[in-house]
Amino acid sequence: ETGVTQTPRHLVMGMTNKKSLKCEQHLGHNAMYWYKQSAKKPLELMFVYSLEERVENNSVPSRFSPECPNSSHLFLHLHTLQPEDSALYLCASSQAVEDTQYFGPGTRLTVL
Amino acid sequence: AQSVSQHNHHVILSEAASLELGCNYSYGGTVNLFWYVQYPGQHLQLLLKYFSGDPLVKGIKGFEAEFIKSKFSFNLRKPSVQWSDTAEYFCAVSPSGAGSYQLTFGKGTKLSVIP
């Protein structure tokens, strides 16, 4: 059981498609995160939001566009992705940015 | 920037064997340290964490980890593993204070426990 949910759990898309990943946290947290987990590489922090404001963008290509409409929801909008973007995308949340992060189950993305 | 090294990619143990998974980090300042676990088909879960104080930290399910500052290490231990401990274990580090959300993970160690 997790307080952080992600949809969809699996996504296959072409390079010209536009899709969005959704994350929702039910923990009353104020900070949310996107991570990328590629095969044989460590988890990489992509974006950090605190109180709906972006506080970190770790040199992520512009084809990934995050959106945080409120403290419970986080989106990752995808467009014109490349096959090397295929990975597991994890969402996390924490009470504040300095607190322990709790992770969702991830979305397995395949780009054809 | 910080980095984390987990030396063992895959560890295979029999039930009741003792476990120690290595984790070393590099960072010039004070750090927060974490071990996360991912059981098959489940999400990443926090096993234990160290922020300050007693360097021997006890976590859930009988796990513990010891922070040795001089060795930049935070090894995970369990005296007697069970088949249900089969999972992938990730060590992570973040700076203390400003930027503490910058979690850097190791590549993970897969643990297989044979009944």
Look at residue B70 and give its three-state secondary structure: helix
Better pLDDT: B1 or A53: A53
From first to last of the 112 residues of chain A, give the pLDDT tens digit: 569 999 999 999 998 889 999 999 999 999 999 999 998 889 999 999 998 888 887 789 999 999 999 999 999 999 999 999 999 999 999 999 888 899 999 999 999 9
CA of B74 vs chain A CAs: smallest distance (Å): 17
CA distance B79 to chain A (A): 26
pLDDT digits (tens, 9 = 90+) for B38-83: 999 888 999 999 999 999 999 999 999 999 999 999 999 999 999 9
For residue A45, give the nearest of B36, B46, B102 by CB distance. Answer: B102
How many other C-beta atoms can be found within 10 angstroms of the C-beta atom of residue A27? 13
DSSP for A38-73, written as a single string: -TTS--EEEEEEETTEEEEE-S--TTEEEEEEETTE
Chain B residues whose beta carbon lies within 8 Å of the beta carbon of residue A102: 46
- Tell me, yes or no, if A66 comes closer than 8 A to chain B by beta carbon: no
- Per DSSP, the three-state class of A12 is strand
For B19-45, the pLDDT digits (tens) are: 999 999 999 889 999 999 999 988 899
Strand ranges for B2-63 from DSSP E? 3-5, 10-14, 19-21, 24-26, 31-38, 45-50, 56-58
CB B77, CB B66: distance < 8 Å: yes
Answer whether residue B102 shows pLDDT above 80: yes
Q: How far is A36 from chain B (nearest CA, A)?
A: 11
* Surface of B (3-22) touching A: CB under 8 A: 4
SS3 B44: coil
